[in-house]
Every structure is written in structure tokens, then in C-alpha cells.
Amino acid sequence: MATKIRDIMTGSPTAVSPQDDIVSVARRMRDEDIGNVLVAEGDELRGIVTDRDLVVRGLAAGGDPGSTKVGGLCSDVTATVGPDDPPERAVEIMRERAVRRLPVIENGRPVGIVSIGDLAVEKEGSALADISAAKSNL
């Protein structure tokens, strides 16, 4: 069982600019086979945007795919964890904030993302662990 966030997080997170349009971000997610990216301006973390955000807050809200910027769609980062924090800390924050993923910050810079799925894989035998550990069907 993992004792630190660094043992279960997804490292080297993909970051995009708040000025990037939703089409280019969606293509990047497709090409990298990921469902979320960090939104950053220089070294400043502005938020997280998910594939669902692109659809619900962007396309379904009537946004023009070529001109709608992800900076207006992303969720603000309300909490983070450090790579040396215990996984239980991430669980606690996710429960309190009702979020499914947290940026992992070290020395003021994002070094990873930990998701509810990452944490679930650690809890062997649960249905969510089995689903999270399964190979992608894409």
C-alpha cells in the first residue's frame, strides 16, 4: 500500500494556457489519452479543466469551439496536496471539497495530479478499484 501521494499520483501533468481554445485542448487530451489538464499562466496554477468541462461548460453552453478559451471553463484550484503527503490527506480533502482530483504541488510547482481513481486502486477489492485498474476501452 502506498504511503505517499508520489507513489500513486500521475506525474508530469499536462498544462495548457488559459488562452487556449477548447478544440486544441480537446485534441491534446485525445492525443495524450488523458481526461484533464492543468490550466496555468507561467508558474501560476489557475485551475483544472476536464473533458466533461469542455463539453458541458463549453459546447453545451453554446460556446464557439474555435474561440472559447479554457480559462473561462476551468475549475478553480481550491486545494492541493504535496507529494510527501499521505493518501489519506487527499481523501480527506476530496471529501471536504467534493472534488475528484487534486494537483500535487512541490516547491510551488505542479508535479502531478492525484485522482479519486488513483486512490481507489489502493483500496483493493472495492468495485471502484477494479474499475479504475481496468485497461481503457478506447
Give the integer Cα–Cα distance in Å for 4 and 47.
Answer: 23
- pTM, two decimals, is 0.84
Cα radius of gyration (the chain): 15
Judge contact between 37 and 29, C-beta under 8 A: yes
Per-residue confidence (pLDDT) for residue 43, from 0 to 100: 81
Res. 131: pLDDT tops 50 = no
Per-residue confidence (pLDDT) for residue 124, from 0 to 100: 63
Q: Which has more confidence, 9 or 126?
A: 9
Is residue 23 classed exposed, middle or buried when 0-12, 13-18 and 19+ CB atoms within 10 A define those classes?
Answer: middle
89-96: Cβ within 8 A, 24+ apart: 89/5, 90/5, 90/114, 90/119, 91/119, 94/119
| Residues 6+ positions from 135 with CB-CB distance below 8 Å | none
Q: Domain limits of the chain?
A: 5-133
Indicate the CATH number for domain 5-133: 3.10.580.10
Look at residue 40 and give its three-state secondary structure: strand
pLDDT digits (tens, 9 = 90+) for 66-92: 999 999 999 999 899 999 999 999 999
pLDDT digits (tens, 9 = 90+) for 107-121: 999 999 999 999 988
Q: How confident is the model at residue 39 (pLDDT cuts 50, 70, 90)?
A: very high
Give the integer Cα–Cα distance in Å for 134 and 19.
Answer: 34
Give the integer Cα–Cα distance in Å for 101 and 1.
Answer: 20
